[in-house]
Chains A and B, each alone.
Chain A
């Protein structure tokens, strides 16, 4: 009986340790892969996959280690995310990638910091590629969290610089999702517009439940009756496409200033009606320079049949910085890599990007771009195969996006 027991233990150990050998770095992709935002989770997963494949192809990691992605579904819900994180830990994950929904990111940041305090020999690093709540690099900052997209305040500062010079816009309407991120967008829009354009009227300020509204027509009717000339929204995923869908159906003649319209579904939903009317503030789009065009084509040729086009510059920067940090520290352990990431810089397709040591926020150039028709003459790359693409109207240099921080690492 005893020998049987020992045999069982031996087999069990062999099974467990073979998934945790040292020639692999396991990246846990803890993201919403079901529910209203499942499509967004799948898009970012493909971006991650593309970059990890590139890292593995070059084979530069110390000890010729390879990266492997394990997806975990957090259902875009903080409680589920904690369970998914537990499952990721059990699977031997060292690096967690997540970005969709700041409420999930906040829960994960706390859980990972707690895990790291309890297991100092086996820490985990959180690579946040899209959760923009400013608190994550300010009052709620943690050593283990690194953000690779610009936060709400940085993006809003850039966007409002552009709105400030658009004298023709006299009133804007704020519509956002009712949770930490959307509230941050509304608050920063209000305070920054007041400062930069005191004459601008804020015609309305709506917060709606995230992922729950299927019919935005009442909101659109309200926006319409407010007489606003432009919408400022941080909405993403279906909350953005459905808003645009309603606005388009009701023929609302209005400018859209968005954070995420280039994300899957936005451009094809608005279509021709959005030409010169739809703007976005992002850290990347296809038509910044030749390199970004190459990267966009790379994505398309890797995934010829998918609906969306390349969108996340932040995912590539996160993976490339992770690779560089591993090479520089000659280690794949999160403790060493975390130290190397702290003030790392890197030249990416849009220029130099650098990690802030004081709050782990990446500084990178930001771009305000507008939707235009693509043609052979302008040589622009389109999105979602509808003959439309983005063109830069303003670039904000990386150093100009630096914001004061209240972050105090323990």
Chain B
């Protein structure tokens, strides 16, 4: 019971972090039709910017400054990179973001080195929030959840209740009409791209010190974010939300399952000899395969329902 609740909380906090990352990606995708391969790199930049600004101003100002800086980098990327490439079609845009991911990684190597940097949880959040049964729950994880949920609500409100949100939504589906009404659609694109990058940056600020800030962190989350977007349905925020929580739960709960094919066969009354050639493969437990499960789920989803959970596009 204790294990269940603690793991549930852990999976929630991880899932919400994933959502923060993938919401930006899915927004950008639904707006521009571009899968931003460099999205996780903006996550990494968020962590490094927070580390660097945190050295000067402390964690709290960095929490706001770092995502803004990442957003500025995102805006510049869109304005002077993607927009130029746009006229050559989606493949060129895709390749552009693909290359950008490598450029960002090398720049991080050059500036901060290849080893992890010492980006720590601030002392003011480094305490135990509550003790559940007898496991302590760190305040920082709760703080991370709070920020994610706050971000989710404000994103929802901005998109549905404000004028900017309406223009953004309209630009998603009818860019020509919005343009004809006198709005600057390219600027809307730039803002959305910057906003999506800033969200990834915010995830980096929060995830960087909870886990580890190193040049490999973009690569480590990059693939999982795509799983979230594909699973949730390309361009669907609600889908991304559900998929994030789902993947968070799968990754954390599967660790607990020590079942293997051996147990299955044993339940059927077949005992496999430890000297058998098959023993090694069959004794792999679900917990050992935990990191692969999200990808397996993505493959299955693409076979069964290519547009994802809540997606509207077939492609």
Contact = CB atoms under 8 A, between A and B. Distances in A.
Interface string B99-126: 0000000000100001110100000000
A119 interface: no
B211 A221 contact: no
A49 interface: no
Interface centre among A35, A219, A249 (most CB of B within 10 A): A249
A214 B10 contact: no
Interface residues of B, number: 38
Interface in B194-235: 210-212, 214-217, 220
Nearest to B138: A249
Interface stretch (A131-139, A191-199, A204-212): A204-212
Interface in A193-240: 204, 206-209, 212-215, 217-219, 221-222, 224-225, 238
Q: Tell me if A's interface is mostly helix, strand, loop or mixed.
A: mixed
Interface string B273-311: 000000000000001101100000000000000000000
A224 B291 contact: no
Contacts of A207: 288
B214 A218 contact: no
B128 A215 contact: no
Interface residue tally on A, bucketed by range: 20 to 34
A213 B256 CA distance: 15
Interface string A283-314: 00000000000000000000000010000000
A387 to B, nearest CB: 17
Contacts of A249: 136, 138, 140-141
B261 interface: no
Interface in A37-57: 38-39, 42
B3 A221 contact: yes
Interface in B124-169: 128, 131, 135-138, 140-141
Nearest to B137: A250
B220 A222 contact: no
A251 interface: yes
Nearest to B109: A34
Contact of A178 (B128, B210, B220, B288): B288
A332 to B, nearest CB: 32
B135 A213 contact: no
Contacts of B10: 215, 217-218, 221
A222 B216 contact: no
A214 B7 CA distance: 15
A184 interface: no
A125 interface: no
A39 B116 contact: yes
A241 B220 CA distance: 17
A33 interface: yes
A34 B212 contact: no
A218 B135 contact: no
B246 to A, nearest CB: 15
A207 B286 CA distance: 11
Interface string A12-54: 0000000000000000000001111011001000000000000
A321 interface: no
B138 A250 contact: yes
Given A34-B215, A249-B138, A250-B136, A221 B7 contact: yes
A178 B252 CA distance: 17
B214 A38 contact: yes
B135 A250 contact: yes
Nearest to A204: B258
Given A251-B128, A251-B131, A36 B6 contact: no
Given A42-B115, A250-B135, A251-B136, A222 B256 contact: yes
B211 A242 contact: yes
B118 A307 contact: yes
B135 A36 contact: no
A225 B2 contact: yes
A36 B290 CA distance: 19
Contacts of B287: 206
A51 to B, nearest CB: 21
B85 to A, nearest CB: 29
Interface of B: 2-3, 6-7, 10-11, 14, 109, 114-116, 118, 128, 131, 135-138, 140-141, 210-212, 214-217, 220, 251-253, 255-256, 258, 287-288, 290-291
Interface of A: 33-36, 38-39, 42, 178, 204, 206-209, 212-215, 217-219, 221-222, 224-225, 238, 241-242, 249-252, 307
Nearest first, the 4 A-B pairs at minimum CB distance are A251-B136, A225-B3, A39-B115, A214-B211
Given A34-B114, A214-B212, 15 more contacts: A33-B114, A34-B215, A34-B216, A38-B215, A206-B255, A212-B220, A215-B14, A215-B210, A218-B255, A222-B255, A224-B135, A225-B2, A241-B212, A250-B137, A307-B118
